[in-house]
Structure 1
Amino acid sequence: MFLNSRSPQLPTPEQALGGRPEPAFTVPDRHTVLGNALLGPYPEGLEVADFALGCFWGAERKFWQLPAGVWTTLVGYQGGYTEHPTYEEVCSGLTGHTEVVRVVFDPTVVSYGELLKTFWESHDPTQGFRQGNDVGTQYRSAIYTHTPDQAAAAEASRAAYQKVLTGSGYGTITTEILPAEGRAFYPAEGYHQQYLDKNPGGYCGIGGTGVELSAPFETNWGASCPTGLVAAPEAAAE
């Protein structure tokens, strides 16, 4: 991916690149592995989750490889200011976006809690504006939530994972958890979509801490994940 040698710093809205009113490129119609449509509208009953955990090539694969329940995945840019950015613009550090995987899933088959477990265990969420050798604001850890239940689940899972990370000698989680509303998701260029399916030997900078977010816990994380992971009361309250 892109190795940024300067000290990463998020731009202000005034410093951000202006962008454009329409995308500068087209996105393929279908997922190369799952076969379903990349862009919505999606079938009734499916839900959307947005996760940033470093280089989106390897991050996307983590979710499409889940055993069941994921209908489609696509990668893009979110959390910044520039409208319809390009990859080169995001890599400049002047858009404010981070690399995101959008996961469209059937909550009756795979819960949001299970997606959160995959998210936390697939990267090191304590690294700030980097993930391994990938350095830049576009590699920061983030969860952008679509419902109050998702927000409550994400916050509770962060508290629970912080507890086990601290016990394993890791520092403070830097993951930002914010509503997806008002933070547009812009699909990335076609060659980024399912990149590691098209290029099986391609670069993957994703690697977790080896620390598991244990399950099950004792208290539900929200109605959107009734059969998934639940947080212990003491963890959720921290």
Structure 2
Amino acid sequence: MPVSSKHYVLGNPMEGPWKEGLEVIIIANGCFWGSEKGMWRLPGGGIYSTAVGYAAGFTPNPTYEEACSGMTGSTEAVQVVYDPSKISVVDVLRWFWESHDPTQGMGQGNDRGTQYRSGLYYFTEEQKILCEKSKDAYESALKAKGKGPITTEIAPASNYPEVFYYGEDYHQQYLAKPGARPYCSAQPLQIALPAFETWAPAELSAFAPKLPDAFWDKHAPSPHCVIRSPNPPIEWP
């Protein structure tokens, strides 16, 4: 799938090989337009690149129409390339959990079908543990509010010959482009992920979040927040 060489908002490359020190995680939480914008807007220069595409399916190089048919097994997903020296994967995971309703099974809001299922696809053992532990913590927080259980699929990227296939270029950074339709099906529940110290193993303390509570108090996901927000990354001290 041909895509632009540079990210429309961040200006960095859209495809690897990535610079040494960068890491990748694949997230899926409904319509990929808003999911991608939420990720590229995280502050501090920690998000190096994002791309939308089709993940965790069994058909190579699917098109949008094929993914929407439900016959490829793919989910609309975002490839997040981040610099762990500037942002923690835990910050990425907190935005992921809080920016949608992970209890909706095969859909999100008005979008229904396997291509809209919630998913996390990891590349390292540390990512695996943090994905699973944060899921357990968020599920407990939801249960306390009478919601759940979480239906998010969590799987290693290695389960697939190729976990992520790029989507069409017109979908990339869609919500930042002139004439874009302001649409996002995400259903944020406005329930916070519990504090890192309450659920993360002590041996992974180096992955503590870099974004403080004050950031989340001001910028935590809320309904339609990505539609209403500016396109550049959030400015934060």
- Normalising by the smaller structure, the TM-score range is 0.7 to 0.9
Aligned pair partner of 1:72 in 49, 58, 69: 49
For residue 46 of structure 1, report the CA deviation from its aligned partner.
Answer: 0.4
Deviations 1:144-196 (A, max 9, x none): 01001000000000000000000111121000100011322100000000000
Is the partner of 1:52 in helix, strand or coil?
strand
Residues 129, 172 of structure 1: CA spacing in aligned structure 2 closer, same or farther, 3 A cutoff?
Answer: same
Q: How far apart in 2 are the matches of 1:90 and 1:204?
A: 18
For residue 208 of structure 1, report the CA deviation from its aligned partner.
Answer: 0.7
1:209 equivalent in structure 2: 189
Name stretches of at least 5 consecutive residues in structure 2 with no aligned partner: 211-237
Q: Does 1:196 align with 2:175?
A: yes
Q: Pick which of 67-76 and 200-209 moved more.
A: 200-209
For residue 220 of structure 1, report the CA deviation from its aligned partner.
Answer: 3.8
Q: Does 1:35 align with 2:16?
A: no
CA RMSD of aligned residues (A): 1.6
Q: How far apart in 1 are the matches of 2:59 and 2:194?
A: 38
Name stretches of at least 5 consecutive residues in structure 1 with no aligned partner: 1-24, 230-238
| Structure 1 letter corresponding to 2:8 | T
1:120 equivalent in structure 2: 97
Calculate the TM-score normalised by the size of structure 1: 0.82
Q: Is the 8 A contact 1:113 1:225 kept in 2?
A: no
For residue 224 of structure 1, report the CA deviation from its aligned partner.
Answer: 8.8
Is the partner of 2:61 in helix, strand or coil?
coil
Q: Is the 8 A contact 1:150 1:224 kept in 2?
A: no
1:3 equivalent in structure 2: none
For residue 205 of structure 1, report the CA deviation from its aligned partner.
Answer: 1.3
Matches within 5 A, 1:219-234: 220-221=200-201, 223=204, 226-228=207-209
Matches within 5 A, 1:15-164: 25-68=1-44, 69-164=46-141
Deviations 1:35-65 (A, max 9, x none): 0001000111000011000000000000001
Q: How far apart in 1 are the matches of 2:199 and 2:188?
A: 25
For residue 203 of structure 1, report the CA deviation from its aligned partner.
Answer: 1.3
Aligned length: 205
Q: Pick which of 96-105 and 207-216 moved more.
A: 207-216
What is the percentage of aligned positions where both structures have the same residue? 49
Deviations 1:11-43 (A, max 9, x none): xxxxxxxxxxxxxx4111110000000100011
| Structure 1 letter corresponding to 2:208 | T
Q: Pick which of 157-166 and 209-218 moved more.
A: 209-218
| Structure 2 letter corresponding to 1:176 | E
Residues 117, 225 of structure 1: CA spacing in aligned structure 2 closer, same or farther, 3 A cutoff?
Answer: farther
Q: How far apart in 1 are the matches of 2:181 and 2:74?
A: 27
Q: How far apart in 1 are the matches of 2:2 and 2:207?
A: 37
